[in-house]
Amino acid sequence: MRKTTILFIILTLQMLVVCCNSSKDFYSGIEHLGKTKVEIETLTMDSIILDASMTSFSGQWLMSPSGSRIYFADSYAVGINSYRLNGAYDTTYITQGRGPNEMLLPSWSSSFDQNDCFVSLDNNSSVNIFSADFSTKTFYEPSSWFTAVDTSFLQAEWRNLYRNPDPKVPQMYEFNNYVGQIYYKYGKLYIPILTEHVAYNPYEVYSKSKEFWRDSYLFAIYEPENISETLKLVGHYPSVYSKKNIPVFGRYSFLIKGNEIMVSFNADPKIYVMNIAGEPLYSFGVADGLISGAYPETVTFEEFEEHGAAYRNKYGYYDKLFSDGELVFRTCRLDNGQRKLQIYKDYDLIGDILVDSDFELFGRGCDGFYYAYKRSDYINEHFVLVKFKLFEK
Amino acid sequence: MKKQYCLKAYAFFLMACAVLGVCITVVAQDIPDPHGNFDEINRCRCKENGDVVGCYAGNAISLRPACAKSKDPIVCSNYNSNCTNAGGEDGTTN
């Protein structure tokens, strides 16, 4: 009798532990900060026209560190086009080649570090770090774990990883091109990552998608000179993704602010903040009433590919983050197709503004104006940007 | 006596569940090798970048169609045209 009772207790406890582990939330227990104190509901925007005849229409917008130039990093042709704040073309930095002020392939994602150096991940996943004047560069071949060019990871290890997926193994991951951001701060690269392992991925419910949402990592952080000794995988998805399989809305946007990583997910109104070690600290962020979150589930990769674009056009989601000093901005797509800009100050929502459908804020100029992409004029080969000021009567 | 029997039955049920779970896991992990082999460790995969599908750096274990693979380093974007047809470079997904 006594033995049986002990066995009963042990087994029940074991089952409880398994159940608790399977439903753990990485962000549980952290404090949610901020209130809704909206004081900005409209903005006066002035349009700026930029010549697009020498570029493709696809690329990334950046504000120069001095705030005096607008940069367009073309994603189809090598080069960073520089424009004055009034929209006049200035010059082009970086030409095609292997030289000190050249890149072999177009930039996929880029940003500036704390010393105004331009860091760019090219279309072949090589990292190029240019000096502030673009005259010299440091080049890093595609990171070994990142593109599988790793002679120390032998065929047998690949085969083993293929058969036994493990989210803790860096070789599981690739650059997350749905996120498409890269940062280089104080010698460390911050790269969004995604595993699409054939038997461990977010798309297929029979390929451990639940485990993917719970255990896979969001970021790789490493010093490019010494990947093997410095590489860390940090961050996890919030619990909303464990409740329903919604990889179509699995994208996120992130910022490095001081010693903190801020990340906002498509399907979650909260903006999560973690330290560089990946420990969750707190959250803030307000849900928009016109984002229902009633996303349809997809259970296969084929379903994801077939319906992804249509679902993203039909349902609202939380989108890109941008920060400037004490302000944090976030764009949102509403269920009705409209776009909004949320502005947070000290974690409080102080701005809630309807904006143009492709609006994307990218910087603040030295003239005090914020600059954002508005649309492309394909017929006249122009980019249309807008600029605006906050707190202006 | 009846209570003891129930407890034993419950314990047996839990153990059976555990064994079944392990078996399912083992079966699920028995994945056949991909087309080709893991010698060709440099792989490029068809992925979206914005609205366009192109050939980008990937790894050997991805479920996405391969647009190029080699034992030597590859410039993936040279193989963008392999992503316009479904099924990837060699018609496989690996």
3-state per-residue secondary structure call for chain B: CHHHHHHHHHHHHHHHHHHHHHHHHHHHHCCCCCCCCCCCCEEEEEEEECCEEEEEEECCCECCCEEEEECCCCCHHHHHHHHCCCCCCCCCCC
Q: Is B60 within 8 Å of A148 when comparing Cβ atoms?
A: yes
The total of other beta-carbon atoms located within 10 Å of residue A358's CB is: 13
pLDDT, residue B23, reads 46
Asked whether B7 and A8 are in contact (CB, 8 A), the reply is yes
Residue with tokens 């010549």: A51
Q: What is d(CA A189, CA A234) in angstroms, rounded to the nearest whole number?
A: 13
DSSP A57-82: S-EEEEE-TTSSEEEEEESSSS-EEE
What pairing do the DSSP bridges indicate for beta strands A188-194 and A382-388? unpaired
pLDDT, residue B77, reads 86
Residue in A116, A118, A114 with CA at minimum distance from that of residue A94:
A118
Q: What is d(CA A61, CA A292) in angstroms, rounded to the nearest whole number?
A: 30
Reply yes or no on whether the pLDDT at B35 is more than 60.
no
Q: Is A4 within 8 Å of B11 when comparing Cβ atoms?
A: yes
Q: Is B41 within 8 Å of A142 when comparing Cβ atoms?
A: no
Helix (H, G, I), strand (E, B) or coil at A96: strand
Q: What is d(CA B89, CA A230) in angstroms, rounded to the nearest whole number?
A: 35
DSSP A272-320: EEEETT--EEEEE----TT----PPP--SHHHHHHHHHHHHHHS-EEEE
Q: Is A162 within 8 Å of B75 when comparing Cβ atoms?
A: no
Q: Is A124 within 8 Å of B54 when comparing Cβ atoms?
A: no
Q: CA-nearest residue of chain B to A13?
A: B14
Q: What is d(CA A28, CA A49) in angstroms, rounded to the nearest whole number?
A: 46
Q: Is A149 within 8 Å of B60 when comparing Cβ atoms?
A: no
- Give me the residue from A8, A153, A172 closest to B7, CB to CB: A8
- Give me the residue from B8, B73, B93 closest to A149, CB to CB: B73
Asked whether A79 and A117 are in contact (CB, 8 A), the reply is no
Q: Does the structure's ipTM exceed the value 0.85?
A: no
Residue with tokens 């679902």: A311
Count of CB contacts below 8 A, A vs B?
121
> The tokens of A251 are what?
């994208």
Q: What is d(CA A85, CA A87) in angstroms, rounded to the nearest whole number?
A: 5
Q: What is d(CA A147, CA A11) in angstroms, rounded to the nearest whole number?
A: 44
pLDDT, residue A363, reads 97
Amino acid at B16: A
A76 — contact with chain B (CB < 8 Å)? no
Reply yes or no on whether the pLDDT at B93 is more than 50.
no
- Give me the residue from B8, B63, B73 closest to A198, CB to CB: B63
- Interface mutation vs chain A, best among B33, B37, B38, most A CBs within 10 Å: B38
Q: What is d(CA A133, CA A293) in angstroms, rounded to the nearest whole number?
A: 45
Band of pLDDT at residue B27, cut at 50, 70 and 90: very low
- Give me the residue from A156, A164, A196 closest to B63, CB to CB: A196
Q: What is d(CA A352, CA A37) in angstroms, rounded to the nearest whole number?
A: 10
Q: Is B49 within 8 Å of A172 when comparing Cβ atoms?
A: no
Compute the mean pLDDT over every residue in chain B, rounded to the nearest whole number: 70
pLDDT tens for chain A, 393 residues long, are: 566 666 566 656 565 554 444 556 899 999 999 999 999 999 999 999 999 999 999 999 999 999 999 999 998 899 999 999 999 999 999 999 988 999 989 998 999 999 999 999 988 888 999 999 999 999 888 777 777 667 778 888 888 999 999 999 999 999 998 998 999 999 999 999 999 999 999 999 998 999 999 999 999 999 988 888 899 999 999 999 999 999 999 999 999 998 999 999 999 999 999 999 999 999 999 999 999 999 999 999 999 999 999 999 999 999 999 999 999 999 999 999 999 999 999 999 999 999 999 999 999 999 999 999 999 999 999 999 999 999 765
Reply yes or no on whether the pLDDT at B85 is more than 70.
no
The total of other beta-carbon atoms located within 10 Å of residue B41's CB is: 22
Asked whether A280 and A320 are in contact (CB, 8 A), the reply is no
**Of A160-169, A207-216, B3-12, B21-30, the least confident:** B21-30
Helix axes A2-22, B2-29, angle to 10 degrees: 40
- Give me the residue from A4, A124, A301 closest to B77, CB to CB: A124
Residues of chain B contacting A142 with CB distance shorter than 8 Å:
57, 73
Nearest CA distance, B30 vs chain A (angstrom): 7
pLDDT, residue A19, reads 47
Q: CA-nearest residue of chain B to A148?
A: B59
Asked whether B12 and A11 are in contact (CB, 8 A), the reply is no
B23 — contact with chain A (CB < 8 Å)? no
Reply yes or no on whether the pLDDT at B89 is more than 60.
no
- Interface mutation vs chain B, best among A3, A160, A174, A360, most B CBs within 10 Å: A174
A75 — contact with chain B (CB < 8 Å)? yes
Band of pLDDT at residue B36, cut at 50, 70 and 90: low
Asked whether A14 and A8 are in contact (CB, 8 A), the reply is no
- Give me the residue from B48, B60, B63 closest to A158, CB to CB: B60
Cα angle, residue A171 at apex, residues A169 and A175 outer, rounded to 5°: 115
Q: CA-nearest residue of chain B to A104?
A: B75
pLDDT, residue B42, reads 78
Q: How far is CA B16 from the centre of its chain?
A: 29
User: Which chain A residues in 51-70 lie under 8 Å from chain B, judged by CB atoms?
Assistant: 58
Q: Is B75 within 8 Å of A203 when comparing Cβ atoms?
A: no
